Structure 1
Amino acid sequence: MKIVDDCLVTLEYTLKDDDQNILDSSEQMGPLDYVHGYRQLIPGLEKALAGREVGESFSLTVPPQQGYGEIDPRAVFEASRSQFPPEAQLEVGMEFETSGHHVVITEIDGDIIRLDANHPLAGKNLHFDIKITGVRDATPEELEEVQQVFAGCSCGSDQGGCGGCSGCH
């Protein structure tokens, strides 16, 4: 069976950066299951999987435009220290969620806190090694679940759904 919309696909994968550092892998997280055609993966990865079959293995490089996009300078902004709880111990590299967005503190200069809300993988080439281990028709229950989850997606992403760190998990 070929991968088409409404199929449940199971993958084993390893994701690396340009320096071949492993960023994510099914060895840690377990195989990935997703329903094809619902933007659960980054666009470049989902497009490369279309039409493939169980047992296929391949490597793929996804450029930023087909992954998490380029770094958006508008997503880098400053906030005043007074906007944080007084007891908060702020440090460069600290990550948190605010208004549904993942944010990282990139600089602290006195009372000015510089924040970056770009996806951690924005601007990066993503190198995948993929093995397709399962393809079947998704059940009506699986289709209903994915339709409900992504119908309510409010992340604002036009880069491939709400995706996780790598677009895999």
Structure 2
Amino acid sequence: MLVAIPTEAPGGLDATISEHFGHSETYTLVQVEGESTGEITVIPNEGHAKGGCMAPVSFLREQGVEALVAGGMGGRPLAGFQEAGVSVFSHEKMGTVAKAIEAFIAGELREFGPADACSSGCSGDESDPHHHGHAPIERVPIEGPADVRDDRVVTLDYVLRDPATGETLEVSEGRGPMRFLYGRGQIVAGLERALAGLSTGDRIRVAVPPEDGFGPRDPKRVIEVPRQNLPDDVEPGMVMAMRSPKGPTPVVVLSLDDDTARLDANHPYAGKELDFEVTVVDVQAAVVEELEAGRVLG
């Protein structure tokens, strides 16, 4: 079963679930087979521009999505998903994709009913990103320098490269900017330190060594498991998720034979020096609810 979750950029298992279903920056798609997870894919959200609030329904159905885990949505898209045979479940404030998928597999998520639809439905001004029954967050203007410091909402455009090869690993263009609560360890430490004191419009390039990024590679995280434990269509190079005490853990399939699968549970960027080129797009004050939740809410 292919499960979709609206997420904030850059998406993936560790991504924060977006509270605004139709206006999320990305959708993280997770293949679920019984009690295990398979391939994980992140796709940008085409938004409402193509077909209004029903566009995400058609878009996700075209991707082969069979279930959706989300927050609120209007009555029309909810009915559209149900008519298309897509089950919709409440994320129950799980926070991240990994936690939501773990709860989904365990059968702990509640399926949406008509009473769960936002009262504003799909009517009104569709250009308003909060029209699905969510009040916009009213942020108090920052007094004094609007620079990057603890507990401020920071928005970045970025390009991530491998300095050893010059290969571009990630870019925010087309995926949406990175948005996070500064000082909470939500981005790699080396980049977070380099951003301190910057203001909107500032642009820097930062070399982040492995110890300040995703850590060194650990040979012990390369493991072998019985081939029969994996889905039949798995191939070398695919990224999967395996259950662990900390929730689903992404792994790369290194090799397969008839009896054994060799998997790498190291982060794909572990052991690599990373070259970040970032532009500060915006710096805003966080609201009390965000400080309590420890993450950006809208």
Give TM class, smaller chain. 0.7 to 0.9
Q: C-alpha separation between the residues in 2 aligned to 1:46 and 1:80?
A: 40
What are the within-5 Å matches in structure 2 for residues 56-67 of structure 1?
A: 56-67=202-213
Q: Percent identity?
A: 40
Q: Post-superposition, which runs of at least 4 consecutive aligned residues in structure 1 deviate over 3 A?
A: none
Quick one: which amino acid aligns to residue 256 of structure 2? I
8 Å Cα contact 2:222/2:263 also seen in 1: yes
- Name which one, 1 or 2, has greater alpha-carbon Rg: 2
| 1:9 aligned onto 2:162 | no
Q: C-alpha separation between the residues in 2 aligned to 1:26 and 1:15?
A: 9
1:33 is matched with 179
Matched residues, number = 147
Deviations for 1:108-131, whole angstroms, at most 9, x for unmatched residues?
Answer: 233121110001111111111111
Q: C-alpha separation between the residues in 2 aligned to 1:56 and 1:109?
A: 51
What runs of 5+ residues in structure 1 fail to find an aligned partner?
150-169
What runs of 5+ residues in structure 2 fail to find an aligned partner?
1-145
Quick one: which amino acid aligns to residue 102 of structure 1? P
- Bigger strand fraction: 1
Deviations for 1:85-129, whole angstroms, at most 9, x for unmatched residues?
Answer: 5xx123211221111110111012331211100011111111111
| 1:84 aligned onto 2:230 | yes
Report the alpha carbon displacement of residue 70 of structure 1 after superposing the two structures with TM: 0.8
Q: CA RMSD in A?
A: 1.8
Cα 1:81/1:5, change in 2 over 3 Å: same
Q: C-alpha separation between the residues in 1 aligned to 2:296 and 2:218?
A: 29
Higher mean alpha-carbon deviation, 123-132 vs 19-28, is at: 19-28
1:71 is matched with 217
Quick one: which amino acid aligns to residue 117 of structure 1? A
| 1:22 aligned onto 2:149 | no
What are the within-5 Å matches in structure 2 for residues 13-162 of structure 1?
A: 13-18=158-163, 19-85=165-231, 88-99=232-243, 100-146=248-294
8 Å Cα contact 2:251/2:265 also seen in 1: yes
Higher mean alpha-carbon deviation, 133-142 vs 111-120, is at: 133-142
Quick one: which amino acid aligns to residue 158 of structure 2? Y
Q: C-alpha separation between the residues in 2 aligned to 1:16 and 1:147?
A: 26
Cα 1:25/1:74, change in 2 over 3 Å: same
Q: C-alpha separation between the residues in 1 aligned to 2:203 and 2:254?
A: 38
